[in-house]
Amino acid sequence: MASDRLTFKEMCAEFDVTPRTLRYYEYIELLQPDREGRARYYGPRERARMKLILRGRKFGFQLEDIRQWLLIYENEGNEAQMQAWIELADQQLAQLAEDKAQLEDAISELKKLRDDTAASLG
């Protein structure tokens, strides 16, 4: 059904991504729209994948990790994909915790330096 499909421009608007981003996701095979001549159409599968891609990016996952994770569903099914997701999420949670600690240290150090500088001015 044609109403289930979005054009390239509609896909960019719906997900608030640039045309360059959408083309890149196609280039690295995260998305595979239907093609009719030069036109691209994105069905429910591609929209669902785009939601997962953007969610993964929000959590800091690398695009290659997302691509590999999406391939698991195609090659091994839902249960294998969910198991892989748990492992990826555990790794990312550890990385985010480390990043948070580093940011907290940097904030603390910057505040101290700022306060020391302000105090030296009088």
Domain ranges of the chain: 1-58
- Separation CA 66–CA 55 (nearest Å): 10
List, for residues 1-49, the tens digit of each pLDDT value: 457 899 999 999 999 999 999 999 999 999 999 999 999 999 999 999 9
Torsion-angle region of residue 34: left (phi > 0), alpha (psi -120 to 50) or beta? beta
CB 54 within 8 A of CB 46: no
Segment 62-100, tens digit of pLDDT: 999 999 999 998 899 999 999 999 999 999 999 999 999
Contact of 41 with 7, CB cutoff 8 Å: yes
Whole-prediction pTM value?
A: 0.81
Q: Under CATH, what is the fold of the domain 1-58?
A: Multidrug-efflux Transporter Regulator; Chain: A; Domain 2 (1.10.1660)
Q: pLDDT tens for residues 92-112?
A: 999 999 999 999 999 999 999
